[in-house]
């Protein structure tokens, strides 16, 4: 599981307002968020869940490319060393 997938978020319980804590991974894999106090729940739409999963992948790919771009610009620099 990636860092972003492990990241926690909270949603307010639709009934009692208690914070429901879940990871982004839980969001798209379990497709629900359940309140531990009163049992009310959010049920997520399957296509929204797979959309979230692919947007997470895209985001991570973009982060990798960003890291590569930073390395590339430094590697490709013309170095001038002053005497």
Report the nearest approach of Zn ion to the CB of residue 23 (Å).
19
Nearest residue to 62 via CA among 2, 1, 20: 2
Q: Calculate ∠ Cα 45-56-52, nearest 5°.
A: 10
Separation of alpha carbons 30 and 10, rounded Å: 15
Report the nearest approach of Zn ion to the CB of residue 49 (Å).
22
Specify the residue, 34 or 53, whose C-beta has the smaller distance to Zn ion. Answer: 34
Binding site for Zn ion (CB under 5 A): 13, 15-16, 18, 35, 37-38, 40
Specify the residue, 27 or 56, whose C-beta has the smaller distance to Zn ion. Answer: 27
Give the contacts of 45 (CB within 8 A, at least 6 positions apart): 31
Report the nearest approach of Zn ion to the CB of residue 39 (Å).
7
């Amino acid at each position: 599981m990636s860092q972003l997938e492990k990241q926690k978020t909270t949603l307010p319980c639709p009934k009692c307002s208690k914070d429901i804590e879940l990871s982004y991974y839980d969001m798209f894999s379990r497709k629900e968020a359940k309140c531990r106090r009163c049992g009310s729940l959010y049920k997520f739409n399957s296509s929204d869940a797979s959309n979230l999963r692919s947007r997470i992948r895209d985001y991570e790919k973009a982060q990798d490319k960003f890291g590569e771009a930073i390395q590339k610009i430094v590697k490709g620099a013309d170095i001038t060393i002053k005497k």
